[in-house]
Amino acid sequence: MSAGIRRFAERYPVGMAGGAIMLLVVLAAVLAGVVSTHDPTRTDAAHTFVPPNAQFWLGTDHLGRDIYSRIIHGARVSLAVGIACSLIGGVAGGAVGLVSGYVGGRADTVIQPTLDIMQGFPLLVLALVMTAALGPSIETVVVAISVPFIPRIARVVRASVLSIRETSYVEAARALGANHIRVALRHILPNTVAPLIVMSTAQLGSAILVEASLSFLGLGVPEPYPSWGRMLSVSAAEFAQRAPWVVIFPGLAISLVVFASNLLGDSLRDFLDPRLRL
Amino acid sequence: MWAFLARRLGLAAVTLVGMSIVIFVLLRLAPGNIVDLLFQSAGYVDPVEKQHIMHDLSLDRPVPVQYAQWVGQLLHGNLGLSYRYGLPAWQIIRPRIPVTVELAIMSIAVAIALGLPTGVASAARQNTPVDYGFRMFSLAGLSMPAFWLGMLIILVLVRAFGWIPSMLYISARVDLRAHLLQFGLPALAVGYRSAALINRMTRSSMLEVLREDYVRTARAKGLAGRAVIYRHALQNALLPVVTVIGTEFAFLIGGLVVTETVFNLPGVARYLVEAILWRDYPVVQNLVMFIAIIVVLANLAVDLLYARLDPRIRYT
Amino acid sequence: MIEPRPFRWALGALLVCALGIGSAWGATVAPKAGGVLNAMHREDPPSLSIIEEATISTNWPMMPCYNNLVLFDPMKANESPATIIGELAEKWVWQDDGKTLVFTLRRGVRWHDGQAFTSRDVKYTFDLVREAPGIATRLRLNPRKQWYAQVQSIETPDPATVVFRLKRPQPSLLMLLASGYSPIYPAHVPAAELRTRCVGTGPFKLKEYRPGELIEMVRNPDYFVKGRPYLDGIRFIIIKERGTRIAALQAGQLDVTMPQEGTKTAADQLRKAVPRMVFIVTSQNINDNILVNFKRAPFTDPRVRRAVSLAIDRRGYIQAVRQGGAIVGASMQPRPWGVWGLLPEALTGLPGGGDGAKGKVDARQLLTEAGFGPGHPLRIVVATRGIALYVDMATFVIDQLKQVGIEATLEQVESAQWFAKLTRGDYGLGANLTGIGADDPDANFYENYYCGSPRNYSDYCNPEVDRMIDAQSQTLDPTRRRVMVAEIQKRLEIDGARPILGWDLDYVAMWPFVHNLVPHTSVYSYARFQEVWLDR
């Protein structure tokens, strides 16, 4: 495993850089209390709209809150939501794809159209409706974003399973008397891990973007969780003149994290399975 | 061919029915309904009056009955009455559709105009600074939230030119130049992401094709290098690009929603959010079905186009 | 904040004079006819029916379409009984020691569809609102039914006379009728239709409503005041995002701000960008307040209630959340904007009106007495609507409560559930805004503080205060009445019925070519646009 990582680092320095940035962001999020300079929820009437300076590294917003600290704490939410959605989507999607591909037959004919239906909704629209249905909360946001991932991942895993199912390797294992579950888990699953990892990493970026969009529209994680998307829920025209830093930095944070995850994801894909090239 | 088409259409129909049920049920799961919202503006809730209004709007009937009513109305071409405005839902939706359609078309145009040439240039100059530059540029496009890009555009315009884009909708008939400007900026914000995807798609499929034997053969036959690239590789590389445009459609709508909000365009995508917040069931149901139909048709069209364009694929 | 207080008083008085002079000056230059006014609007009105709604979002675009019996003089900024003029009523007289009000109506007035206006329409309108026994139609929503609870009957001896007979004297009745919330509806049009269209007698007719985009009014050529209106039309342009609205005003795409939407920060920004923009500072008759659920622990304990009120520094709130664009006050709009407000000296003695730091010390003390402390902190949830301003309010309050050891979290409630939640009593603390339709104790107290009123969300109930409210409502002598109302206000603050964080100011901005649009000390009643003219 560590040999694999070293090989990866040698051949894909850009991907490693992305990974390093992600790690840095995760660390900052975990150590948010230590890394931030102020309490992210503390309002300060005397210091509203302060431009970036020594005291407030990235300036303050309309309530006098320190933007840098809010961005650090916002990382927690964005990463938590992103990772949770990727994991849930990956695990659930993987399971569904595995079953659908391996068992086939009637299970497949039922699962396939269901996946089609789930996939038919644009990501944001489904998330919107679900948030409206279940009320805005962090759990709802995670569910709302994970659900559309499942069919996408299931599809990829299913294709992978289908291509391996009929190989002689598997037939041999079956001939030797291994039962279905054993075959599925020991022989097929490991070969689907590569596309699964690649898809999940790609979905991490999507999850963060959709969460930001939901928060921007006012339907994402509610107060008191600071959210990068909600920090941007202001009028560009108004803040352009008064306090452009309020608009620039949270968006930069989102873009940086998604960029890093995309870099990492791209390189991982090239490394693990060049056939999935997009 | 016809069997294939029939099967796909059948699948599409089943998908649409399934989606309609999902959307119908999800909306009614939401706590609080339109009646509570109507009271909100008056600042109080009276249980007796609430019952009256719910009965007026048929909200007190069981959910399957309401569903049957809705489907029945749809089949007669009746899109129902908007709960919030008290006006026919079609009257609310119709003027907004051209706005969103226009923005969508302009975004796709921007995406193709930006993505295709840069993808080709990237593939032609693989691993040169030009290539790396375009790749970083497109990766950035996939990483930026569309609404933030829109906000940045406004930020730059205000700081650099002291100019704010019009926040009131200007019809093309009234002032064409202003209208194009009003739509061009958000189209840029929305199209950038799709441009990035098209760029990557074009680049990778062109690279793949460039490696193929027949291109080498064509080169050996002495055709000019440039012509080789553009005529043979591009034609075959277009196939996956078309796929991307089709599948991107669904994601495009998300971009339209937020960009219409940032630029204050009276479009259908943005209105969907409001209708959801207002629990305006007739409008939401019809709009989402509308979007679903478009997405399903787009996927179908892409599948068919794919099947037609690539002779290697048999109708499976 | 300008200290010391006498200067603030003087400044206020000066501003009021300036308003008066301003409106007088506006009236001396000869008005020009023609032109279309582009007015700002922040959202779709919930419906077009003024009587069925309780928001400026309906009054602002729809008042041009209707007339009242009487109205506050559009040209006078301070609303009071002295500024009431007749619209559809030519004259009126009190009889029976204030128990009967007789109106003589204007003749020759026509509805927009050509039908004649008569006393029957007046009777119909107010029978509808008061839900008179035996009336055939019902309003879908009726927020101000309480206003006419003292009306015994309405008689129409002839087509030009209306007689209101009251169960007991109510001098406020005239103020209530003069509010923008009291238009006259046509008896021949079903009330439900008026939610989506307008049939009135007013200076403008509704030309078009494009939901989400604009509401367009066009001049009524048959208006009963000859030579009015001056404008050819008004376009209320709907822009949902506040900053975008201000940007559009700055760029000249809009001509004037909407009442309630003129913030101090926006005014500061506009002043720098457009030096020739005209600014008028006035009050809104809207206050920011905290709803305390009297029926839910721990707020059943008066010490906890008082501690919450003491912990919130009012001046700090005004600075942080309103950027200085509000003033401290009790339950009636403070002077010099409102006539009934308590004097500043009286306010300092009440919770929240004094020193912020001392208030927090007292709060901590009270909490300890109530059994809460560092090892056993009070945990509460502050609920609010998912609108930026409300969230900012709640955020500030939570921060203040944290400073006295109360651990508060924010619950953002979707608009769809907000009032239902409040009515159910399903909340602990709530951040809220309350607008009052006229600067009158009856318009305020019965709705918000009377036992059992649907909009008394806190479930505050003090029978003695109810008696005081009823007593002042019947008192004809204005001096005596003022003393009684002052007493009620003090009681409400001491009881912590609804801690008022601040009374909002409106920084109305308009381009200098807009004339005769005079903002009043209350947002709800000046949008008739009859006298407005443009000089582009």
- Given CB atoms, is C244 within the 8 Å cutoff of chain B? yes
Apex CA B138: angle with CA B136 and CA B139, to 5°?
Answer: 65
Which positions in chain B touch A259 (Cβ < 8 Å)? 139-140, 143
Task: Tell me how far apart the alpha carbons of residues C138 and C141 are, in angstroms, rounded to a whole number.
Answer: 9
**In percent, how much of chain B has pLDDT > 90?**
7
Give the residue, C528 or B219, on which the prediction is more confident: C528
Position C433 scores a pLDDT of 92
Mutate: best of C210, C237, C269, partner B, most B CBs <10 A:
C210
Position C535 scores a pLDDT of 92
- Cβ–Cβ under 8 Å, residues C289 and C457: no
Please write the tens of the pLDDT for every residue from C350-367.
Answer: 776 777 788 889 899 999
B315 pLDDT band, cuts 50/70/90, is very low
Task: Give bridge partners of residue C515 from the DSSP assignment.
Answer: C533
The arithmetic mean of pLDDT across residues C312-316, rounded, is: 89
Torsion angle of C-alpha atoms A215, C240, C254, C52, degrees rounded to 10 = -160
Residue B275 has pLDDT above 70, yes or no: yes
Position C3 scores a pLDDT of 45
Residue C175 has pLDDT above 90, yes or no: yes
B222 pLDDT band, cuts 50/70/90, is low
Interface pTM (ipTM) of the complex? Answer: 0.84
Which positions in chain A touch B30 (Cβ < 8 Å)? 132-135
Position C15 scores a pLDDT of 58
Interface of C with A (CB under 8 A): 241-244, 246-247, 265-266, 269, 273, 316, 319-321, 323, 386, 388, 391-392, 394-396, 398-399, 409-412, 414
**Sheet with C161-166, side-by-side order of all strands:** C89-95, C100-105, C161-166, C151-158
Residue C19 has pLDDT above 60, yes or no: no
Q: What is the token pair recorded at C427?
A: 């909340």
Position C254 scores a pLDDT of 93
pLDDT in tens, chain A (278 residues): 677 778 777 888 888 898 899 999 999 999 988 888 888 888 777 788 899 999 899 999 888 889 999 999 999 988 999 999 999 988 898 888 888 877 777 777 778 777 877 777 777 878 887 877 777 788 888 988 888 888 888 888 887 777 777 676 667 777 777 676 776 677 677 777 777 887 888 889 889 998 999 888 877 887 767 889 988 887 776 777 778 999 899 999 999 999 999 888 888 877 776 555 44
Select from B53, B271, B274 the Cβ nearest to the Cβ of C140.
B53
Which positions in chain B touch A114 (Cβ < 8 Å)? 18
- Tell me the shortest Cα–Cα distance from C118 to chain A, in angstroms: 48
Q: Give the DSSP letter of residue B108.
A: H
- Of the ranges B278-282, C63-67, C491-495, the best mean pLDDT one: C63-67
Nearest to C332 by CA among C458, C174, C498: C498
- Cβ–Cβ under 8 Å, residues A211 and A141: yes
Task: Tell me how far apart the alpha carbons of residues C188 and C502 are, in angstroms, rounded to a whole number.
Answer: 43
Task: Tell me how far apart the alpha carbons of residues A247 and A25 are, in angstroms, rounded to a whole number.
Answer: 20
Position B316 scores a pLDDT of 43
Please write the tens of the pLDDT for every residue from C252-267.
Answer: 889 999 999 888 888 9
Task: Tell me how far apart the alpha carbons of residues A220 and A229 are, in angstroms, rounded to a whole number.
Answer: 8
Mutate: best of C239, C261, C265, partner A, most A CBs <10 A:
C265
Select from C247, C320, C411 the Cβ nearest to the Cβ of A43.
C320
The arithmetic mean of pLDDT across residues C187-198, rounded, is: 94
Select from B32, B86, B95 the Cβ nearest to the Cβ of C195.
B86
Task: Tell me how far apart the alpha carbons of residues C459 and C426 are, in angstroms, rounded to a whole number.
Answer: 12
- Given CB atoms, is B30 within the 8 Å cutoff of chain C? yes
- Given CB atoms, is B43 within the 8 Å cutoff of chain C? yes
Please write the tens of the pLDDT for every residue from B44-84.
Answer: 767 777 787 788 777 788 888 888 888 888 888 777 788 88
Mutate: best of B28, B35, B41, partner C, most C CBs <10 A:
B41
Residue C198 has pLDDT above 60, yes or no: yes
Residue B194 has pLDDT above 70, yes or no: yes
Task: Tell me how far apart the alpha carbons of residues C265 and C275 are, in angstroms, rounded to a whole number.
Answer: 15
The arithmetic mean of pLDDT across residues C259-279, rounded, is: 89
Task: Tell me how far apart the alpha carbons of residues C507 and C521 are, in angstroms, rounded to a whole number.
Answer: 11
Task: Tell me how far apart the alpha carbons of residues C279 and C264 are, in angstroms, rounded to a whole number.
Answer: 10
Position B216 scores a pLDDT of 67
Please provide the average confidence, as pLDDT, over all residues in chain C. 89
Q: Give the DSSP letter of residue C499.
A: -
Instruction: Specify the residue for token string 């005041």.
Output: C225
Q: Give the DSSP letter of residue C512.
A: T
- Given CB atoms, is B159 within the 8 Å cutoff of chain A? yes
Tell me the pTM.
0.84
- Measure Cα distances from C51 to C55, C63, C139 in Å: 10, 11, 9
Backbone angles phi, psi at C166, to 5 degrees: -105, 155
Which positions in chain B touch A247 (Cβ < 8 Å)? 148, 151-152, 155
Which positions in chain C touch A235 (Cβ < 8 Å)? 241-244, 246-247
Which positions in chain A touch B26 (Cβ < 8 Å)? 129-130, 132-133
- Cβ–Cβ under 8 Å, residues A254 and A204: no
**Helix, strand, coil in percent for chain A, rounding step 5:** 80, 0, 20
Position C85 scores a pLDDT of 96
Which positions in chain B touch A237 (Cβ < 8 Å)? 154, 158, 164, 167
Check CB contact under 8 Å for C423 and B44: yes
The arithmetic mean of pLDDT across residues B149-176, rounded, is: 83
B215 pLDDT band, cuts 50/70/90, is low
Chains that touch B (3 or more CB pairs under 8 A): A, C
Position B32 scores a pLDDT of 65
Give the residue, A217 or B222, on which the prediction is more confident: A217
Grouping H, G, I as helix, E, B as strand and the rest as coil, residue A35 is helix
- Of the ranges B30-34, B223-227, C378-382, the best mean pLDDT one: C378-382
Nearest to C62 by CA among C516, C528, C510, C530: C528
Nearest to C440 by CA among C179, C259, C183, C99: C179
**Long-range CB pairs of C467-472, under 8 A, 24+ apart, other chains included:** C469/C441, C469/C445, C472/C441
Check CB contact under 8 Å for B38 and C55: no
Q: What is the token pair recorded at C220?
A: 């009524």
Nearest to C379 by CA among C366, C361, C398: C398
Backbone angles phi, psi at C202, to 5 degrees: -75, 175
Residue C318 has pLDDT above 50, yes or no: yes
Task: Tell me how far apart the alpha carbons of residues A184 and A11 are, in angstroms, rounded to a whole number.
Answer: 32
- Tell me the shortest Cα–Cα distance from B221 to chain A, in angstroms: 30
Measured in Å, how far apart are chain B's first and last C-alpha atoms?
A: 10
In chain A the beta strands, taken as DSSP E runs, fall at: none
Check CB contact under 8 Å for A241 and C246: no
Task: Give bridge partners of residue B25 from the DSSP assignment.
Answer: none
Which positions in chain A touch C392 (Cβ < 8 Å)? 62-63
**In percent, how much of chain C has pLDDT > 90?**
61
Half-sphere exposure of C53 (CA within 13 A, CB side): 25
Position A278 scores a pLDDT of 43
C2 pLDDT band, cuts 50/70/90, is very low
Chains that touch C (3 or more CB pairs under 8 A): A, B
Which positions in chain B touch C138 (Cβ < 8 Å)? 52
